[in-house]
Amino acid sequence: MTSRIIPVDLFDLVVFGATGDLAQRKLLPALFHRDMQGQVPPGARIIGCSRRALSREAFVDFALKAIEDHVAASDRPADSLTRFLERLDYVTADAAQDAGWAELGQRLAAGADRVRVFYLAVGPDLFGPICDRLAACQLVTPRTRVVIEKPLGKSGKSARALNESIGRVFAEPQIYRIDHYLGKETVQNLMALRFANALFEPVWNSGHIDHVQITVAETLGVESRAGYYDTAGALRDMVQNHILQLLCLVAMEPPVSTDADSLRDEKLKVLKSLRPVAGDQAAHVTVRGQYRAGATGGGAVKGYLEELGSTASRTETFVALKAEIANWRWSGVPFYLRTGKRLAGRVSEIVVTFKPIPHSVFDASAGPIAPNRLVIRLQPDEGVKLWLMIKDPGPGGMRLSHVPLDMSFADAFNVRNPDAYERLIMDVVRGNQALFMRRDEVEAAWAWIDPILDSWGTSAELPKPYTAGTWGPSAAVALIERDGRTWYEDQDL
Ligand code: BG6
């Protein structure tokens, strides 16, 4: 197994919100890894920027701690660490104040021809003001790119407003909207599985597939993010972006190529084909839940309301829903989606269940014949399982068993699995937008989500309580069982 380092052009990366959680947990460790792997060219600079008045030395200390906390000791040799820290610089600047911007301009002036990346690791209310400042200070060169993260709006309307405020300064090819799920290794593998194998594509349709499940389950609660989370909820936080993106990759037509717009055009068609869930429909095809106190592997945990420090909130920490894609390929194939906090296990997986065989040639004594299933596990233990029927080995007549053809990537390839941010940040520098959401995709996803939110908003029903450490409210089980199907349960979990 070999890995390949694709060289990138010389760049300056400015991280707004450089002392925040994202920079600390993801961006600095990811940049360090790419540097250590030799992908960051000599002379490339990483400039932290935030309101906090810090010296360069204090920011270097902050970055060092971030790397020590998030990169295994064996993965951070002293010489790589020194080289990385030397790249760092820091400027204090506030989107609401004039101070600091001229200084940022001076630092950047030394690299006017370089690729310039502004990573806005800040709340969305600052996207517009920061972009305006960048324009006013003439910091946007032809080779400049801007990176933003969700929440990209709370609704279609606010997403459009955000897109407009950024679009006043940056053209669409300069805007990189991160959905970190698209940077995950196994998500990439989904493309390889579908389009680099002849086996699946002929049966990848309603003629052969019974239904698809997408589960993104977390054992964590809302942790320190209760303030944000309570304004979002699971539908906005996970379904509008990550889960719909996964659905698109499963359901899209083969793109002409892997170039950014070919891919995004196909994903957009899927989003536009989602059958709207409006009015009463939401009560039948969606289930909202909210966790109560319970226990997870780590012991007793508080309920959502206690974590929030409130006695009332209608915010869902769990959602299950049945989506349908109204097009030729998928008509009649339900996509069951579910995600939640404080569930019984941490797992993200896509399960494609094929239709039963049309006729069994075996005696009843052979046992039941289960349908084939393709399970694409994103995390943990990335891998693919194809469930097949085989004959039980040995004498005793024909007895059939359902067994997985199991490919765990950790076993198959002995390489470190890079964090999604490593790939995504380098793609920004390379100018490859394939793994980033285009404006129309984000807005089309909201167009499907908005009516569900509206319908929940007008309903008197509250999210159904579920005990932390379970698989969510029983109504989520009923949602799929009403259709004669069950949620896939891996024995390993
Ligand atoms: C984020 C959500 O986008 O994804 C979080 O805001 C969630 O609530 C996280 O915990 C899950 O990401 P991952 O990569 O840990 O599955």
If you write DSSP's letter for every residue of 78-114 in order, what string do you get?
HHHHHHHHHTEEEEE--TTSSTTHHHHHHHHHTTTTS
Ligand 1 atom with the shortest distance to the CA of 420 = 14
Highest mean pLDDT among 3-7, 119-123, 414-418: 119-123
pLDDT of residue 267: 98
Q: How many CB atoms lie within 10 A of CB 442?
A: 24
State in Å: Cα 216 to ligand 1 middle.
9
Q: Give the Å distance between the CA of 181 and the centre of ligand 1.
A: 9
- Asked whether the beta carbons of 415 and 148 are under 8 A apart, the reply is no
What atom of ligand 1 comes closest to residue 181's alpha carbon?
Answer: 14
- Of 26, 70, 149, 180, the one to substitute when testing ligand 1's pocket (max ligand atoms within 8 A of C-beta) is 180
Residue 394: predicted pLDDT: 86
Going by C-alpha positions, the residue among 245, 269, 274, 247 that lies closest to residue 434 is 245
Q: Establish whether 242 is a catalytic residue.
A: yes
Q: How far apart are CA 427 and CA 8, in angstroms?
A: 9
Q: Please give the share of the chain, as a percent, with pLDDT higher than 70.
A: 98
Measuring CA to CA, how many Å separate 334 from each of 25, 252, 285, 291, 330? 36, 15, 11, 26, 8
Query: Separation of 395 CA from ligand 1 center, angstroms?
Result: 49
* Minimum CA distance residue for ligand 1 atom 13: 181
Residue 470: DSSP 8-state: B
Q: Residues 139, 141, 145, CA angle at the centre, nearest 5°?
A: 90
Å from CA of 459 to ligand 1 middle: 27
For the cut 70, the answer to whether the pLDDT of residue 254 exceeds it is: yes
User: Cα of 8 to ligand 1 centre, how many Å?
Assistant: 28
- Does a cis peptide bond (omega within 30 degrees of 0) precede residue 380? yes
d(CA 357, CA 131): 57
What is the CA angle 193-197-203, rounded to 5? Answer: 85
| pLDDT recorded at residue 330 | 98
CB atoms within 10 A of CB 202: 9
pLDDT tens digits, 308-366:
988 889 999 999 999 999 999 999 999 999 999 999 999 999 999 999 999 999 999 99
Residue 265 sits at φ, ψ, to 5 deg, of: -60, -45
**pLDDT above 90 for 223:** no
The pLDDT value given to residue 492: 54
Res. 279 pLDDT band, cuts 50 70 90: confident
Confidence of residue 491 (pLDDT cuts 50, 70, 90): low
Question: Residue with the nearest Cα to atom 14 of ligand 1?
Answer: 181
Tell me the pLDDT tens digit for each residue of 44-74: 999 999 999 999 999 999 999 999 999 999 9
d(Cα 474, Cα 462) in Å, to the nearest integer? 15
Closest to 373 (Cα-Cα) out of 482, 488, 484, 476: 488
Ligand 1 site residues, Cβ closer than 6 angstroms: 180, 218, 237, 348
Computed on alpha carbons and rounded to an integer, the radius of gyration of the chain in Å comes to 24
Q: Across-strand partners of 334?
A: none
Long-range Cβ contact pairs of 457-465 (< 8 A, separation 24 or more): 459/282, 459/283, 461/283, 462/290, 462/314, 463/288, 463/289, 463/290, 463/314, 463/315, 463/316, 463/317, 463/318, 464/287, 464/288, 464/289, 464/290, 465/289, 465/290, 465/291, 465/292
Question: pLDDT tens, 142-193?
Answer: 999 999 998 899 999 999 999 999 999 999 999 999 999 999 988 888 999 9
Neighbours of 206 (CB within 10 A): 16
Which atom of ligand 1 has the smallest separation from the CA of 348?
A: 16
Residue 466 confidence (pLDDT): 97
The catalytic position among 33, 70, 242, 402 is 242
Instruction: Please give the Cα distance from 31 to 35 (Å, whole number).
Output: 6
Q: What is the pLDDT of residue 2?
A: 56
Q: Average pLDDT of the chain?
A: 94
pLDDT at 3 over 80: no
For range 424-447, the mean pLDDT: 97
Distance CA 259, CA 491 (A): 38
Tokens of 452: 């569900």
The position carrying tokens 């698809």 is 212
Q: 89 pairs with which residues across the strands?
A: 47
